Structures are given as C-alpha cells and as structure tokens.
Amino acid sequence: MSERPYVIDEMISAKAIAARIEELCNAIHEEFRDTDKLIVVGLLRGSFVFIADLVRELDLPVEVDFLEASSYGDSMESSREVRILKDLRGQIEGRDVLVVEDIVDTGHTLKHVTRLLKSRKPGRMRTIALLDKPSRRETDVAADWIGFSIPDEFVVGYGIDYAQRNRNLPYIGKVRFPDA
C-alpha cells in the first residue's frame, strides 16, 4: 500500500518555539518555585522533544516520567477512545506534577489523563501543551499553559508525527496534500 504524497509548510519556526518555551518556563518557575521536586509527566510520544527542551530550561529540581496514551494510531483523526499504553513508573501522591502534552485537539486525551492522575492525589498538578486547537474541542478541558494556539490544521514536527514520520523536524509544519 503506497502512502499518499504530502508537502509540509512551516507554520512555527524553531526560533519561535525556543522563545516561547523560555516564556513558559518563567511562568512554570513562578508557579512551582517552592517545590522540592517537580515531576514532569510527558505524554508520549509526541511531547518528547517539548519535554526535553522544557526541562533543560527549567531552573527547578525535576524528575521526568512518561505516560503513553493514544487516541489516534496512524490516523489523522482522533478515535475519541483513549487507551493508556504505558503508565508512570513512579508515584505522584502528594507531589508537584506538570503534565506535558504536545497538542490539545478534541481534548479527550488530556481530560482522560488528568482525571487518571488526579485520582492518584498529586499535591499540585498543572498542565501545559505546546499546541492548542480550540476550534476542535469536544470536551471542557484546557491546559494551564499553551505554547501556541493554531487553526484546525494537521501538523507535524518538533516531536509530532504523521504515521510515525516527521517527528525530527525542528519546526511545526502544516501537512498539505497537493492533489487535494
């Protein structure tokens, strides 16, 4: 089965992403400045580049853990059924937690994950997403911090993929099908 050819148009440059991460980290530092340790929980796989850049910029004691949730598979559309594929290794009860998401689209994944993590009784829990598509929201969830609000476009790069491709792009790009 051959893949449909597509083109990627740059939407958000690597330089703009780096500048925004610095701003976000200042806000996170203010929120958690009194923490003894901030547990940064990355939602795999799309957030791994964002997490790496965030924790390098944070001037706080951090621990990194990962949770893998899926509602897309290799599709461009959410199935709206969220499955936990990999759970946290550590405990978060009574701890300060920052949940890192690559993109909030329909909101089903973030809502499911925050409900799950809140049931584990963290001390403080906040959420951050690199990208937000408010026009696609189907739930009443919102991240505490947003890197960029974007229109309803299918995007790749900076850790975000299309069928496991294009994660390595240093920028956020819009996928376009020339034959459409």
Catalytic residues: 105
**Between 14-32 and 48-57, two packed helices, what is the crossing angle to 10 degrees?**
60
DSSP conformation letters of 25-81? HHHHHHHHTT-S-EEEEEEETTTHHHHHHHHHH--S-EEEEEEEEES-TTSSS--S-
CA atoms within 13 A on the CB side of 61: 6
Which position has the token pair 């598509």?
A: 133
User: What's the angle, vertex CA 64, arms to CA 85 and CA 107, rounded to 5?
Assistant: 50
Contact of 114 with 128, CB cutoff 8 Å:
no
H or E element in which residue 139 lies: none
